Structure formats: C-alpha cells, structure tokens
Amino acid sequence: MELHLQSHHRAWRTPDWSAAVVAGLAAGAVLMVLDLCWPLLFGDGNSWATSHKVAALVLGRQVLQSSAFDLGVVVTALLIHYSLGAVSGLVIGITIAALRCENSLAMTQVIGYVFGVVVYFVNFYVLAALFPWFAEMRGEATFLGQLAFGVIAALVYRQLSRAPAAT
C-alpha cells in the first residue's frame, strides 16, 4: 500500500489577464466620474483641475497654470489615467490569483481596500515629493476615491475572472 502525502506546495495561478485589465478600466471610469463630480458637489466647482494635475506628469508644470477645459490636456490625462488603471487592475488580478481568493467576497474586498490605501499613500505622499501638485489633493475625498477604485477593481475582477473552482 502506498502512502500519498499531500504536498502543501501551491503552484502559481495565472490571473485572468483580460478580466484584470477590464476591472482596472472600469474602476478607473468610476474614479474619473468621481473626480469630475466631487469638485462640483463639495469643492471649488472646477472639474478640470484634476485633469490638469494628471496631464502635468507628461506635459509639464506649465499645464498647471490653467484649469480650464483643454482637449489636449483632457486626452493626455485620460491616457495616463486609464493606463494606470489597467496596470492597477493587473496588480489586483495578480494579487487575487496569487492568494487564490477569487471565491471569497470578503478577501476580495480586503485586497481592494488595501490596494486603495497603498495607492493613496504612494501617489499623494511618496510621489508628491516628485510631483508636488499632488500634495494639494490629499484629503478625505481623494482617499475615498482611491478606496472606491481598489474595491471596485477587485470586485469587477472577481466577477469577470474565469478562475478555477476552489479546491
């Protein structure tokens, strides 16, 4: 009689790449709407200020001189925003797959929350040293927006991924 011992070694699980990208894009769309609406509801009423701050990453500080609507600035900001959203979706997908928690709603939400917190602190504290105009965006609304992004991306990934059933 053979004795088979189960190995506790877990093989790498490949994330669902397309679900991860779509999750990041979907969460990015929600964050973009929040960025456009919150200034109208709670701030100074300037919906385009965030677009100028994001576009300044590529176009330079001179973009910050105005916060009026500018098609070139908005297109640049959208390209940056959605590129970072897709990359963030990939990070979330890799994390969820690596931890094998596609079937756990609670763990998926926790991963989203943690991701949102990490991104907030990296973007608005660490990277603000290089891009000081992001320091102005620190605050509750931005923090909640990053949490929403992380959770939405994680939940969309969970919903769309074609992960193997739990074993």
Model confidence at 13, in pLDDT bands (50, 70, 90)? confident
The region of weakest confidence among 12-21, 78-87, 105-114 is: 12-21
Between 34 and 118, residue with greater pLDDT: 118
Q: Does pLDDT of 6 surpass 60?
A: no
Mean pLDDT of 64-68: 92
Domain boundaries, the chain: 17-160
DSSP string for the chain: ---PPPP---------HHHHHHHHHHHHHHHHHHHHHHHHHHSSS-TTHHHHHHHHHHH-GGGGG--S--HHHHHHHHHHHHHHHHHHHHHHHHHHHHTT-TT-HHHHHHHHHHHHHHHHHIIIIIGGGTSGGGGGG-SHHHHHHHHHHHHHHHHHHHHH--PPPP-
